[in-house]
Amino acid sequence: MVCLEICLAILVLGLMIYKWSTATHRAFDDRGVYFEEPKPFFGNIGTSMLGLTSFHKVLSAFYNRTRGHKVVGFFNLRTPMIQLNDPEIIKKICIKDFDHFPNHQLFLESNERLLNDMLSVMRDQRWKHMRNTLTPVFTAAKMRSMFALMNDSFGECLEHLSRLSDGSKSGEGLEVDMKVLCNKLSNDLIATTAFGLKVNSFESPDNEFYQIGQSLTFSRGSQLFKFLLATLIPKVFLFFNMKIFNGQKVEYFVRLVVDAMKYREEHNINRPDMIQLLMESKTESEDNWTDDEIVAQCFIFFFAAFENNANLICTTSLELLENPDIQQRLYEEAKEVQESLKGSSLTYDAVQKMKYMDMVISESLRKWTLAPVTDRICSKDYTLTDDDGTKLFDFKVGDRVNIPIAGLHWDDKYFPEPQKFDPERFSDERKNEIVPYTYLPFGVGPRNCIGNRYALMQVKGMLYNLLIRYKIERSPKTVKDLWEEARGFNLAPKAGYWMRLMPRK
Ligand code: HEM
Ligand SMILES: *[C@@H]1O[C@H](CO)[C@@H](O)[C@H](O)[C@H]1NC(C)=O
Ligand SMILES: *[C@@H]1O[C@H](CO)[C@@H](O)[C@H](O)[C@H]1NC(C)=O
Ligand SMILES: *[C@@H]1O[C@H](CO)[C@@H](O)[C@H](O)[C@H]1NC(C)=O
């Protein structure tokens, strides 16, 4: 008898979970839009959630199957979204009629400290004000002075490599996991440029800043678990009053920034980093931003810069070792710049002069786009029409919009031979051929990435320094086929980004 009851209970529970997992599946039934039958739990994104394949690949495959439709229903797990497969429509929604779609979707409705104060999460007027406050922080002029702060960290990274290479047998070069190396570099650069703190993660890998910063990013361990729980079943998360971030660790960063601001005010210290830029724009802004609201903007670097910048160096290095001609040409350009600098260290303006570097990085961001999608949410009803006036879709408040960046970047209609790494796509002669709004590595419109200049100067600066000293080569542990081997959300091989660095004479 007991057994029967247990069995029944399990059955009922199973049914309830199944019902829950498919509860949203009728979302597009009466809305006159094409969609693919979703699967329980996984919707249209299938096995990438289980880590069996990469998110990028699943999204590109979905785009490929549906690209004949300008708008298409898409189930991101259980969440129904309207995917825009057409560049002109992306332009309409993200630029022309931005007023109807001014926000990103919230990944969780909690009153978590700092999380809701980050620019990327803010909404409507509050977002607009903060974006206006931050825009002057990320201008080319500000980045130029901030770039000088990066020099020390580049130097420490190179010193670390040269110590390693002194220890290795000559002629063999260094085998390094580029991801580990770049994570440390990213960390030190965030510490110095965003938090006004000098750390050296190459000499002391267990420094407090690194440890605490790591425990806050979403991409690993219990943090990822909590994040997924909060995204997938927010009700449970909120019911138990769970928090994604540990309060003490958050406090560590708040103190770091607040104390630095106070100290600088009292001692009249100038240092061209985020803290100072935020202090300046805070006084210039009409808004009364709280300490938390200011600190949260430094906090963004952990989520936006940390993984992205490191991954971009990794994917680019991988392409360089697979395409020795491209690496050679880039090396020659770097060498030229080095000579023109006559012994002084790299500057922001010298970085901007490297045209080929820009082509290579642009192509790297095309082929290995770090954000495979971005999103918007509809805040005012909106009827989407085609150029000839035919109605395509009626958006209702709360509808979520999906912009298939990876799908577009891999579409042979826009980028012939999408698997080919070809920086010439971005040459002066050919870049005009790119169809507008098909190349979106940093998103599009007023809500695009605010940190793109920062990211580009860091990545270009590091690659310059690396290439003038080392030739990047394949090692036995180098990933064979990133497209096949990448798993989950991050474009990274499970075993790491191993490569060999051969010192140049
Ligand atoms: C290679 C590195 C990076 C890539 C590929 C990248 C990509 C993106 C993308 C695709 C978006 C969404 C844009 C949209 O929806 O239209 C975004 C937003 C954002 N990114 Fe980045 N990003 C990078 C680095 C950074 C860095 C270094 C920062 C530093 C502050 C940053 C800060 C932000 C912020 C604050 C937003 C939200 C903007 C808003 O909502 O107004 N990103 N990024
Ligand atoms: C940049 O770093 C290098 C190596 O660490 C150092 O020799 C150089 O003096 C630094 N340049 C500036 C402008 O600080
Ligand atoms: C800003 O805050 C100060 C002090 O907290 C207050 O006196 C002032 O009225 C506030 N200004 C606005 C525009 O809210
Ligand atoms: C999507 O199609 C492009 C060609 O347009 C192809 O290169 C790419 O591999 C396809 N994506 C997937 C996941 O099969």
Q: pLDDT per residue over 186-203, tens digit each?
A: 999 999 999 888 999 999
Q: So what's the pLDDT on residue 218?
A: 62
Name residue 488's beta-bridge partners.
54
φ and ψ at residue 118, rounded to 5 degrees: -75, 145
Q: Which of 86-100, 225-239, 469-483 has the lowest mean pLDDT?
A: 225-239
One-character DSSP codes across 110-160: ---TTGGGSTTT--HHHHHHHHHHHGGGGSHHHHHHHHHHHHHHHHHHHHH
- Centre of ligand 4 to C-alpha 64, Å, is 6
Mutate to test the pocket of ligand 2, among 146, 149, 151 (most ligand atoms within 8 A of CB): 151
- Centre of ligand 2 to C-alpha 303, Å, is 28
Proportion of the chain above pLDDT 90, given as a percent? 59
* Closest atom of ligand 2 relative to the 151 alpha carbon: 1
Binding site membership of 145 for ligand 2 (Cβ less than 6 Å): no
Binding site membership of 345 for ligand 2 (Cβ less than 6 Å): yes
Proportion of the chain above pLDDT 70, given as a percent? 97
Measured CA to CA, the distance from residue 106 to residue 100 in angstroms comes to: 16
* Closest atom of ligand 2 relative to the 152 alpha carbon: 2
Measured CA to CA, the distance from residue 282 to residue 289 in angstroms comes to: 7
Q: So what's the pLDDT on residue 49?
A: 67
φ and ψ at residue 390, rounded to 5 degrees: -70, 145
Binding site membership of 253 for ligand 4 (Cβ less than 6 Å): no
Binding site membership of 410 for ligand 4 (Cβ less than 6 Å): yes
7 annotated ligand-binding residue: no
- Find the ligand nearest to 410 CA: 4
Q: So what's the pLDDT on residue 157?
A: 96
Measured CA to CA, the distance from residue 380 to residue 398 in angstroms comes to: 8
Is the pLDDT at 219 greater than 70, yes or no? no
Stretch 492-500: mean pLDDT: 90
What's the pLDDT tens digit per position in 248-261?
Answer: 888 888 888 889 98
- Centre of ligand 1 to C-alpha 443, Å, is 8
Most confident of 39-43, 147-151, 223-227: 147-151
Task: State in Å, rounded, how far the first CA of the chain is from the last one.
Answer: 81
Is the pLDDT at 437 greater than 80, yes or no? yes
Q: Which of 158-162, 204-208, 216-220, 333-337 has the lowest mean pLDDT?
A: 216-220
Q: Which residue has the higher pLDDT, 238 or 13?
A: 13
What single letter denotes the amino acid at residue 192?
T
Stretch 122-150: mean pLDDT: 93
Does domain 29-503 fall into CATH 3.40.50.360? no
Atom 6 in ligand 1: which residue has the minimum CA distance? 442
Binding site membership of 46 for ligand 4 (Cβ less than 6 Å): no
Q: So what's the pLDDT on residue 109?
A: 66
pLDDT band of 54, cuts 50, 70, 90: confident
Measured CA to CA, the distance from residue 174 to residue 162 in angstroms comes to: 9
Stretch 35-40: mean pLDDT: 90
Binding site membership of 277 for ligand 1 (Cβ less than 6 Å): no
Q: Work out whether the CA dihedral 34, 40, 42, 46 comes out positive or negative.
A: negative
Q: So what's the pLDDT on residue 110?
A: 67
* Closest atom of ligand 2 relative to the 155 alpha carbon: 5
Is the pLDDT at 55 greater than 70, yes or no? yes
Binding site membership of 155 for ligand 2 (Cβ less than 6 Å): yes
Is the pLDDT at 116 greater than 90, yes or no? no
- Centre of ligand 4 to C-alpha 350, Å, is 37
- Centre of ligand 3 to C-alpha 250, Å, is 26
Q: So what's the pLDDT on residue 381?
A: 97
Measured CA to CA, the distance from residue 425 to residue 423 in angstroms comes to: 5
Stretch 412-438: mean pLDDT: 97
Binding site membership of 185 for ligand 1 (Cβ less than 6 Å): no
φ and ψ at residue 400, rounded to 5 degrees: -100, 140
Q: Which residue has the higher pLDDT, 98 or 236?
A: 98
- Centre of ligand 3 to C-alpha 269, Å, is 25
Binding site membership of 57 for ligand 4 (Cβ less than 6 Å): yes
* Region of residue 48 (left: phi > 0; alpha: psi -120 to 50; beta: else): alpha
3-state secondary structure of 83: strand
Q: So what's the pLDDT on residue 379?
A: 96
Atom 17 in ligand 1: which residue has the minimum CA distance? 449
What's the pLDDT tens digit per position in 273-291?
Answer: 998 888 888 888 788 888 8
Is the pLDDT at 108 greater than 70, yes or no? no
Is the pLDDT at 229 greater than 80, yes or no? no
Q: So what's the pLDDT on residue 42?
A: 86
- Find the ligand nearest to 439 CA: 1
Is the pLDDT at 442 greater than 90, yes or no? yes
Contact 199, 209 (CB under 8 A): yes
